Amino acid sequence: MSGFSFLFRELLGSIRARSALLLSAASVLVFVSIASFATLLLLGGTSPSVETQRIRPDEIVASLSPRLSAERVDDLYLEIQARSDVSSISFRFAEEVSPGSTGGRFFIRATSTEAAPELLAAVEVLDGITEVTGGEPLPPAANVGLSPAFRIGLLVALVASIVLGLVLAREGYRALLRAFHGEIRIMRLSGTPERTIAAPVAALGLLLGLLTGLLLVVGVYLGLYAAGDSTSSIAELQSAGRVFGVTAAGFVLSLLLGGLGGLLGASLLSGRGFASGARR
């Protein structure tokens, strides 16, 4: 272990400007990838439908009991439509609006914003109506879902940053091993096993992955803290368990990517330029 920690420190001491730059850039890209990953999992779920997100001040959404017959729904529809303070009404199945829900919804628009509260009170007491919302805008925080285009963009960023990060990491390790070449030669001449030479390189990758993962943990914490002040409903929407799970998954992904980068770096030792002359 003392040999490993010595070699690890010596390897760190061989980091020069070029390798530092490349490895930092690789770490930033790994961070981008795990941040995209976390964003996709935290905010990229089913986005609330447009109708439920943005209820205008003059709009009311009335939920119907799933046990109502079609005739009763028709009757209710006509009854509400007949009111003088109703400008328009439409019916949609609850499943269309909110997957997994049953029953139906009336989307009712009052003739004016002022008329909406009275209309809401009148609809609320109708037989077969289970819940009525609206008449006032919902808090903007409810609109946390990501658009499909943004989700695709995040996926592309995730893949691209992983690939580019690994390419940069490999170049960073190549520059680092070039600076460490004399030491590698001395170790090989003196019969140091290849795994002893490669282990610190792989460990450096894990360390970079660990640091990047910790950065994600801090970033998520700060993000939630900042969002908690302005839009408390984010915290309501995203349970603590889910945030913890996604952050942990991002952390593990970061470790895996860092470790993979380290292994790529260690694999350079057997490639052209660093290969041992010995065949065993």
Partner 1 sequence: MIQVSELHFTTEDGIKVLEDVDLHLERGELAYLVGEASAGKSLLLSLLAAQEPPQQGQILVNGRNVARLSREKALRLRRQIGFLPQGFVPSTRTVLGNLTFKLRALGDFREQAEEKALHALELVGLLRHQRTEAAELSAAERLRLGLALAICDDPLLLLIDDLFDGLDAEDQDQICGLLDRIHERGMTILAAARGPLPPKAVGGRVLELVDGRVTER
Chain residues binding partner 1 by CB under 8 A are: 2-3, 6-7, 10, 179, 181-183, 185-187, 189-193, 196, 277-280
The span from the CA of 78 to the CA of 89, in Å, is 9
Q: Tokens in use for 191? A: 């019969």
- C-alpha atoms less than 13 angstroms from C-alpha of 119 in its C-beta half-sphere: 32
User: By C-beta, is 140 or 193 nearer to partner 1?
Assistant: 193
User: By C-beta, is 52 or 192 nearer to partner 1?
Assistant: 192
Residue with token string 């499943």: 95
User: By C-beta, is 132 or 199 nearer to partner 1?
Assistant: 199
> Smallest distance from the beta carbon of 220 to partner 1, in angstroms?
40
User: By C-beta, is 187 or 211 nearer to partner 1?
Assistant: 187
Q: What's at 5, amino acid-wise?
A: S
> Smallest distance from the beta carbon of 271 to partner 1, in angstroms?
19
> Smallest distance from the beta carbon of 217 to partner 1, in angstroms?
35
User: By C-beta, is 70 or 278 nearer to partner 1?
Assistant: 278
Helix (H) or strand (E) holding 130: strand 129-134
Task: Name the residue among 128, 121, 63, 68 with its Cα closest to residue 92.
Answer: 63
| Residue 210, C-beta contacts closer than 8 angstroms, at least 6 positions apart | 254, 255, 258
> Smallest distance from the beta carbon of 179 to partner 1, in angstroms?
8
Helix (H) or strand (E) holding 30: helix 17-43
> Smallest distance from the beta carbon of 20 to partner 1, in angstroms?
17
> Smallest distance from the beta carbon of 176 to partner 1, in angstroms?
13
> Smallest distance from the beta carbon of 216 to partner 1, in angstroms?
35
The span from the CA of 117 to the CA of 34, in Å, is 46
Q: What's at 166, amino acid-wise?
A: L
CA-only gyration radius of the chain, Å: 30
Q: 62 φ, ψ to 5°?
A: -115, 125
User: By C-beta, is 7 or 29 nearer to partner 1?
Assistant: 7
> Smallest distance from the beta carbon of 198 to partner 1, in angstroms?
13
User: By C-beta, is 196 or 232 nearer to partner 1?
Assistant: 196
| Residue 182, C-beta contacts closer than 8 angstroms, at least 6 positions apart | none
DSSP 8-state class, residue 141 = G
| Residue 214, C-beta contacts closer than 8 angstroms, at least 6 positions apart | 251
Q: Tokens in use for 33? A: 């990838």
User: By C-beta, is 189 or 222 nearer to partner 1?
Assistant: 189
